[in-house]
Amino acid sequence: MTSLLRSQLRSLRACRPLHCARHTSSTPPRDIPPLPPHDEWRATFNTTMGAVRDRISVANPDTADILAKAFLTGNSIAAGQGKTVIECYPGPGALSRGLLRLDDKTLERLIILEDWEPYLEYLRPLEQADPRVTVVPLSGFSWSTYAHIEEKGLLDHIKTVPYEQGMHPQLHFVSHIPQNISGEQFVAQLFRNIPTHSWLFKYGCVPMSFIMGEWIWERVAALRKTIPRCKVSVITEATADMQAAVRPSVLQPYAQHLHPRPTSQQLKKPESRRIGHPLAAINTVPYAEQVIAPHLLDAWDYCLRKLFVLKSTPLNKAISALGPGADSLLRVLTAKDLPPEQRVDVTQRVRDMSVSDWALLIRAFDNWPFAPENLVISDAFLEDRRDRSL
């Protein structure tokens, strides 16, 4: 684990020690269809195929129990009762089974999104074993999937809760994150939907729990003045509270807890992105009060992307990247008649800017009469929601 991740984890809320004991409750135990032993997974599931090559899954049932409780119970910032969980990228369902071992008061319903048939063979039996389960044979990566589950009435019982009332008491999104750039983009888009109350956030401050590569977590949670600080870091810091669900050691060594074990081809990938690299388990809850106004999201996107290309450059040198004449914004940001808390230190590097600094910059940019009219920067993953992706 890097020193950056250690410092970030220390700054997050401390996690209560978690053990491997099964969850006790008054709910009668159900016979949950078993999975093959972990050491048979490579033979059972051919994960060298393109569709699932970079996907990871919890395989150890004790680890699945630990994570299920760390996501939904105890000291988790996302803990609650009467939960409807939407689980994305479940793999064959070890974590799904861990969630189902929670009592009915904690987990009311489980909606599983999976479109790979070899995994579905081990997920569909859960519907027969537990009435709380609905398996939707569609990809959680696709925007249309969430429209589909609404059209099927699977969310009819979900209330819309105003943001100012805090965390949504019912709905909870859980996902393994693929170990590739698309996985990082998927996470980035989820946080990007928070200010606009899009996707599941139209119901309110819906908590999310992730199992992701440590390399993704370092970028998502990067603090100002650190090298990994990026556009995603700023958006996540501005939109949601984040907490490490378990200590990193709970998921190590990788081969004892997760699937698949790395192949020789995957070992050729950059160190941080290959299968087998350490993972992090994260809980996150959107803030009741959002810094990013919905109508300014495109401006935030534009300014962050343009300026983070020059993230090691002082703002007063980089600001011209926003367009011809953008240097004039420096006078607005440093005007002496402004209260000190509304001024920006324009000599600091782009990666050193706080969320407050960015908010002041975007406000000035939005009021600038010569700001570019077209703020859209090409990104296939962030295209209009009529497209297949979130």
Residue 128: pLDDT above 60? yes
Confidence band for 275, pLDDT divided at 50, 70 and 90: confident
Token couple for 333: 């940001």
pLDDT top residue among 271 and 378: 271
Asked whether residue 15 carries a pLDDT value surpassing 70, the answer given is: no
Residue 377 pLDDT: 62
> Measured between alpha carbons, how far is 374 from 390 in angstroms, rounded to an integer?
21
Evaluate whether 72 touches 79 at the Cβ level (below 8 Å): yes
Q: Which of 45-54, 69-78, 226-235, 303-312 has the lowest mean pLDDT?
A: 45-54
Instruction: Please determine, for residue 4, whether its predicted confidence score (pLDDT) is greater than 50.
Output: no
Q: Where in the chain is the domain with CATH 1.10.8.100?
A: 295-367
Over residues 12-21, the mean pLDDT reads 39
CATH architecture, domain 3-286: 3-Layer(aba) Sandwich (3.40)
- In this prediction, residues 195-209 reach a mean pLDDT of 98
Between these two residues, 377 and 200, which has the higher pLDDT value? Answer: 200
295-367: CATH number: 1.10.8.100
- Known binding positions: 114
Closest CA to 98 of 331, 318, 288, 281: 281
Q: Would you list which residues are annotated within the binding site for S-adenosyl-L-methionine?
A: 114
Between CA 119 and CA 93 the distance in angstroms is 8
390 pLDDT band, cuts 50/70/90, is low
Average pLDDT, the chain: 89
- Say if residue 376's pLDDT is above 60: yes
Q: What is the pLDDT of residue 311?
A: 97
Q: What is the mean pLDDT of residues 316-329?
A: 98
Residues of the chain with CATH 3.40.50.150: 3-286
Length, in residues, of the chain: 390
Least confident of 222-226, 247-251, 275-279: 275-279
Which range has the worst mean pLDDT, 298-302, 378-382, 386-390? 378-382
Please check the confidence at residue 45 and state whether its pLDDT lies above 80.
yes
- Res 1: pLDDT: 52
State yes or no: pLDDT of 280 exceeds 70: yes
